[in-house]
Chain A
Amino acid sequence: MATVYINNQEVTIGDNERLNGIQAAARAGVQIPHYCWHPGLSVVASCRMCLVETGTRNPETGEVSMFPKLVPACQTPAKDGTVFITDSEKVRKARAFVEEALLIDHPIDCPICDKAGECLLQDYHFEHGQPERRADIKPFTSRKRPMGDTVMLFVDRCVMCSRCVRFCREVTGTSELMVVNRGAHEEIDVFPGKPLANKMSGNVVDLCPVGALGDRDFLYEQRVWFLKRHKSVCSSCSTGCSIWAEENQDRIYRLKPRENQHINKWWMCDEGRYGFHYVHDPKRLIGPQHRPAQGGSKGEPQKVEWEQVFNDLPQALAKGGRTAVVLSPFLTVEEAYLLAKYVRSINSEALIAVGHVPVVGTDETFPGGFTIRAEKCPNRRGVEEIAKHFSGPLTSWPDLVSKVAAGAFDTVWVTGSYPHEWVDEAAAQAFAKVPQLIVQDIFPSPLTEQANWLLPAAAFGERPGSYVNHADRLQSFDWVVRPPQGARSEGSVYWRLLGESGLFRPKEVLREVAAEIPYFHLAADPIPELGVDLKLNQLAETAAGPSA
């Protein structure tokens, strides 16, 4: 154990921890301002904002000998007996000087800068800057140029912290960005003809402490103070990155990574970041439809009210005969469980299968350790375990399609909610002869054209619940925006069909799942913000030996 002294406050640091001054101070609740240092990147100590006084304390005499000059806290290791003074007059003056120097050639165009409101330059200037300006500073319009398809550089707003440059070198390993020129003429740039085009380029916008790098997808869309952020989980691949989803008036404007050392560290990929736009696609299915059977053929689709669905669907299912349920890997654990439970309560023989698992290319791992999975769905593991619990050996989507084509079922309930087209004509043809087809999906497809009951469902951000990622880590999240009028999240539909009272309460369902299914045993407690590893449970079971 090492003891570090922050402004006379004692902080103990574990033996295996290697912290710098900024991190040690954070333990004591002291924030040291910094631009260039980021926990996920190498240390350059170039911004000089984190300058502090430091010294060592003699363990025997207790005497403190201070270092004569200020040192950057990001570069100073917190060792046993290290003393950091962060609030002396000397330190405060140094910070004010840094702020003053940064503002000398800054455009100060905060009113039109997209970063305003979450800008460290603004915040630090307010907290540490001088109250008056000594230079004749006039606002001007910043020069700008695109760095690639996703990122716009506002040249004059930059404070040259080089976080973006280090990100491209250390995390993605693509090294597109660089610093050109020297001294006061330094600028961030790319090589001619080599734009910033890696698959994680959006992260440089989050890393930028000021408004120099703008997200072209979000540029000019909203002021950040109008956005409300919600903890969510990305559904673009089976990595299941922890994210912030930021919305205003039921419209998602941007997604940002949420730090989770177990999954995505500080990053997320562009596919996930910009992959939410389908949620607000005008082609979304709205309002349930029903085709009453006419003789042997399926009739014309008629718009019905949800109340009619809740009244008529249970009877239709009871008369359904041989029944199969397809759990989409976009359903949450709770929704998959409720659907399986509901259909089983009507037909105890019903087959529970797992829906189409979209796979695109191969897994892609970056030098920084981040992986974009080829499996483009968030909850394959979760729905598989639910299906196994109810139906034993797994029935995959291709298996089910061939069974359906062979006429093995009278009633099939298919859930979709895929962001992209997922079912082709051939697969849909197999369902043409099913007497009763119930489809819950968000976009029109060959399959929805066959449906006897078409129930518009929820897209990303519109459902509460839990996803289990590829590594068996379960994360819970709440809804971010409401589904469009006429669509209902799957969970609320099943909740209502099961005759439960009030609003859909996924936490209660998860508690039930944890009690019922051994795989989800650890999900019983309130789920921590960063998720729980369900594998730990399995390891314990294996260690204890197979139970009788």
Chain B
Amino acid sequence: MKPDDPDINWIEEPKLGLAGRMYLPLLLKGLTTTTRHLFSKKVTVSYPDVEPTIQNPLNYRGVHRLNRDEQGRVKCVACFLCATACPAHCIDIIAAESPWPDREKYPQSFTIDELRCIFCGMCEEACPVDAIELTSLYNLTGRSREEMVFDKEKLLSVYDATKDAEPMKSASLGGTK
């Protein structure tokens, strides 16, 4: 885009008033804010001695999980929409013909590089069958980079571990089942 592009709306910097030019009033204003926060209630917790409380697990964006359908199969239909939406390119899917008659396609392999992931939640939004969801698990650790690349089994096990505490966000979805 060039500087003379008609889509650019150029505006002038606002002129400083008397208080701005005198500098001190604004400095005092800033200091007041700092002082107020010194004495107000603390919002931070001293992790890991104190575990934070997740306000709303429904919109907290932690570790991913792959949901299962009623028959215990992976819900994912390998449509690649999460991989398409992912801005960090951390989702890698290999699709194959599904072994089940009522489904056409399923992920033969589904891996998420949790180190590359920026936890934006776009995959969850893109998923047409609500198969991928972000849980409220935040303490994600590993001993190697390889360990942090979660495969399908691991992502399904996250579902098994969290399904009671956090039910599927849209269990009633019809569609491809």
Contacts and interface: CB of A to CB of B under 8 A. Distances in A.
A107 to B, nearest CB: 9
A226 B83 CA distance: 10
Nearest to B129: A111
Interface in B155-177: 174-176
Most chain B CB inside 10 Å of its own CB: which residue of A109, A220, A221, A226: A220
Interface stretch (A40-48, A135-143, A268-276, A454-462): A135-143
A220 B97 contact: yes
B112 interface: no
A112 B79 contact: yes
B96 interface: yes
Given A111-B77, A220-B96, A142 B104 contact: yes
Contact of B102 (A111, A138, A141, A144): A141
Contacts of A144: 104
Contacts of A109: 104, 176
Given A139-B176, A221-B95, 11 more contacts: A111-B77, A111-B176, A112-B104, A141-B103, A141-B104, A141-B176, A220-B78, A220-B95, A220-B96, A220-B97, A223-B84
Contacts of B174: 138
Interface in B71-98: 77-81, 84, 95-97
B104 A223 contact: no
Contacts of A221: 95
Contact of A112 (B84, B102, B105): B105
B128 interface: yes
B175 A139 contact: yes
A220 B78 CA distance: 9
Interface string A209-250: 000000000011101011000000000000000000000000
Interface string A93-115: 00000000000000001011000
A430 B104 CA distance: 55
A141 B80 CA distance: 18
Most chain B CB inside 10 Å of its own CB: which residue of A111, A138, A219, A226: A111
- For chain A, the bracket of interface size reads 10 to 19
A283 B80 CA distance: 30
Contacts of B79: 111-112, 223
A19 B158 CA distance: 62
B84 A225 contact: yes
A139 B103 CA distance: 12
21 contacts: A109-B176, A111-B176, A112-B77, A112-B104, A112-B105, A112-B176, A139-B176, A141-B103, A141-B104, A141-B176, A144-B104, A219-B97, A220-B78, A220-B95, A220-B96, A220-B97, A220-B105, A223-B79, A223-B80, A223-B84, A226-B80
Contacts of A226: 80, 84
Contacts of B77: 111-112
B88 to A, nearest CB: 16
Say what secondary structure dominates the interface of chain B.
loop
A144 B103 CA distance: 11
Nearest to B108: A220
Nearest to B103: A141
Interface in B128-164: 128-129
Contacts of B78: 112, 220
- Cβ-closest 9 pairs across A and B: A111-B79, A220-B95, A223-B80, A111-B128, A112-B105, A112-B77, A139-B175, A112-B79, A112-B104
Nearest to B177: A141
A424 B58 CA distance: 67
Nearest to B126: A111
Nearest to A139: B175
Interface in B92-125: 95-97, 102-105
Contacts of B128: 111
B52 to A, nearest CB: 36
A220 B176 CA distance: 17
B8 to A, nearest CB: 30
Contacts of B81: 111
Most chain A CB inside 10 Å of its own CB: which residue of B79, B104, B174: B104
A226 B175 CA distance: 25
A158 to B, nearest CB: 15
Nearest to A142: B104
Contacts of B175: 138-139
A223 B82 CA distance: 12
Contacts of B129: 111
B121 to A, nearest CB: 19
Interface string A414-455: 000000000000000000000000000000000000000000
A225 B81 CA distance: 10
Contacts of A225: 84
A142 B97 CA distance: 13
A16 to B, nearest CB: 46
Contacts of A141: 102-104, 176
A223 B93 CA distance: 11
A536 B24 CA distance: 85
A64 B117 CA distance: 64
A126 to B, nearest CB: 17
A515 to B, nearest CB: 40
A220 B94 CA distance: 8
Contacts of A111: 77, 79, 81, 128-129, 176
A138 B97 CA distance: 22
A223 B81 CA distance: 9
Most chain B CB inside 10 Å of its own CB: which residue of A112, A139, A221: A112
Interface in A112-131: 112
A220 B105 CA distance: 8
B130 to A, nearest CB: 12
A221 B94 CA distance: 8
A181 B143 CA distance: 62
A54 B84 CA distance: 43
Contacts of A220: 78, 95-97, 105
Contacts of B103: 141
A144 B105 CA distance: 12
A211 to B, nearest CB: 11
Contacts of B80: 223, 226
A382 to B, nearest CB: 40
A458 B157 CA distance: 45
B55 to A, nearest CB: 32
